[in-house]
Amino acid sequence: MDFQSYFPIWKKLTPMQQERILNSLTERKVSKGTVIHNGNMDCTGLLLVKSGQLRAYILSDEGREITIYRLFERDMCLFSASCIMRSIQFEVTIEAEKDTELWVIAAETYQGIMEESAPVSNYTNELMSSRFSDVMWLMEQIMWKSLDKRVAAFLLEEASIEGANRLKITHETIANHLGSHREVITRMLRYFQNEGMVKLSRGTIEITNTEKLRLLNDM
Amino acid sequence: MDFQSYFPIWKKLTPMQQERILNSLTERKVSKGTVIHNGNMDCTGLLLVKSGQLRAYILSDEGREITIYRLFERDMCLFSASCIMRSIQFEVTIEAEKDTELWVIAAETYQGIMEESAPVSNYTNELMSSRFSDVMWLMEQIMWKSLDKRVAAFLLEEASIEGANRLKITHETIANHLGSHREVITRMLRYFQNEGMVKLSRGTIEITNTEKLRLLNDM
């Protein structure tokens, strides 16, 4: 499987544009925990995930984090190349959540093609509106949902991503995903344990009653 | 002043595209308080503000609101035509904050032109990333800033929009902008009054110490 089969609108590019993209390409392998892009760095380029998992988050002055979206196989990340659009006025950090293989498309090459190609520009629009929808969903969660429901939703999502009910994850990590504090998450998880929804042990959280967790989330 | 001089990329359209836009156009005058678009309604079309002021907000199941952005003269609103992009999966309500004159461009006409025209598609991208930046700013405010700073920032912004320190605005309205409750806002404003930053009277809030309010906001 090569780049051409991963890039979603490859066939809508002219042969010349295809060549420009291929020439601008770099392939990277990064290990879990690597920060691939941070808001203050230069325009890293567009990321296309071959395998693995990335997390995009924002960071407060005090170092608190909140996850705004995740990227899986075949997902493309625009905001690591925010220089391609004047109006993008915010900064995200992108980090590998698992060992990840990815391609980096040079920002200026993509920008040049986007300016002349309606299909590429329209695809970029779809990409952006999809991330926009993620962020609006997140904002609604933060505004209208209490933390117990957000923790429940997070555990259920993790279990679905991992395909397992036994999650290797620290309370600190959950706090970073949800923009909360470790102590607050620990207290919440202990409450979940008392209610029989999870079982806590060092470094792992096991979901013992998916149905009850789902009910809490849906309430 | 006519539509052509308000539409930002008029000169980048072909004569045929210009004609299609003009044929699809409707002009509307709405009075303050009118809901122009709500999430559940059909695809209203793109809004271009001739004069006045619009507010876009999201709504919780319990009827709480939070303002996500505002539109002034010459601003264009995309999310009243969210049907033009598959990936827009959220709903906003748009209401006139002042008596407003606007044009509505039919969604399917704009979509057709966007699909064939790189300049229109790129312009749409800029528009979306600009709104995206508004929402990211708002999320950072909600996540990392306490309510006193958000109320201070809101009063300062209102004063700047109105060009006056005496604001005709209810506590309920402020609560709706900030996704809070009237009682909470009233308590905060009374605290501001005790601190000598504002003076409250029926239906109005007068900023009496801009500097102090600004300091609070910057802290």
Instruction: Name the phi and psi angles at A75, rounded to 5.
Output: -80, 150
pLDDT in the model for residue B10: 96
Q: Which has the closest alpha carbon to B104: B171, B17, B22?
A: B22
Widest CA span in chain B: 62
The most confident of A14-18, A194-198, B195-199, by mean pLDDT: A14-18
Tokens 């528009």 label which residue?
B127
Structure tokens at B181: 């409750």
Q: Is the CB of residue B56 less than 8 Å from the CB of residue B68? A: yes
pLDDT in the model for residue A1: 63
As a whole number of angstroms, the distance between CA A132 and CA A134 comes to: 5
Tokens 């770099």 label which residue?
A26
As a whole number of angstroms, the distance between CA A177 and CA A55 comes to: 9
Specify the pairing of strand B54-59 against strand B93-96: antiparallel
A203: left (phi over 0), alpha (psi -120 to 50) or beta: left
CATH 1.10.10.10 at A145-218, yes or no = yes
As a whole number of angstroms, the distance between CA B71 and CA B61 comes to: 25
What is the location of CATH 2.60.120.10 in chain A? 3-143
Kindly state the average pLDDT of the residues A24-42. Answer: 91
**CATH no. for A3-143:** 2.60.120.10
As a whole number of angstroms, the distance between CA A125 and CA A147 comes to: 32
Q: Do the chains contact at A144 and B90, CB–CB below 8 Å? A: no
Q: Do the chains contact at A133 and B64, CB–CB below 8 Å? A: no
Interface check B61 vs A, CB under 8 A:
yes
ipTM: 0.82
Helix axes B147-162, B210-218, angle to 10 degrees: 130
Kindly state the average pLDDT of the residues A93-119. Answer: 96
Chain A CB contacts of B112 below 8 Å: none
As a whole number of angstroms, the distance between CA B142 and CA A58 comes to: 13
- Nearest chain B CA: its distance from A79 CA (Å): 10
Interface check B15 vs A, CB under 8 A:
no
Percent of chain A scoring above 70 in pLDDT: 99
What is the location of CATH 1.10.10.10 in chain A? 145-218
CA closest to A58 among chain B residues? B140
Angstrom CA distances, A70 to A53, A89, B79, B119, stand at 7, 20, 24, 30
Average pLDDT, chain A: 92
Q: Is the CB of residue B95 less than 8 Å from the CB of residue A51? A: no
Q: Do the chains contact at B133 and A89, CB–CB below 8 Å? A: yes
Percent of chain A scoring above 90 in pLDDT: 74
- Count CB atoms within 10 A of the CB of residue B128: 23
pLDDT in the model for residue B33: 95
Q: Which has the closest alpha carbon to A175: A14, A61, A27, A66?
A: A66
Confidence of residue A70 (pLDDT cuts 50, 70, 90): very high
Specify the pairing of strand B166-168 against strand B35-37: unpaired
Q: Is the CB of residue A48 less than 8 Å from the CB of residue A6? A: yes
Q: Do the chains contact at B117 and A115, CB–CB below 8 Å? A: no
Interface check A121 vs B, CB under 8 A:
yes
Instruction: With a cut of 50, list the residues of chain B below it in pLDDT.
Output: none
Interface check A125 vs B, CB under 8 A:
yes
The answer to whether the Cα torsion of B147, B149, B154, B159 is positive or negative is: positive
Kindly state the average pLDDT of the residues A124-138. Answer: 92
pLDDT at A41 over 80: no
Residue type, A33: G
As a whole number of angstroms, the distance between CA A159 and CA A167 comes to: 7
Q: Which has the closest alpha carbon to B88: A132, A42, A121, A192?
A: A132
Angstrom CA distances, B133 to A37, A87, B127, stand at 18, 7, 10
- Distance in angstroms between the alpha carbons of the first and the last residue of chain B: 44
- Nearest chain B CA: its distance from A200 CA (Å): 28
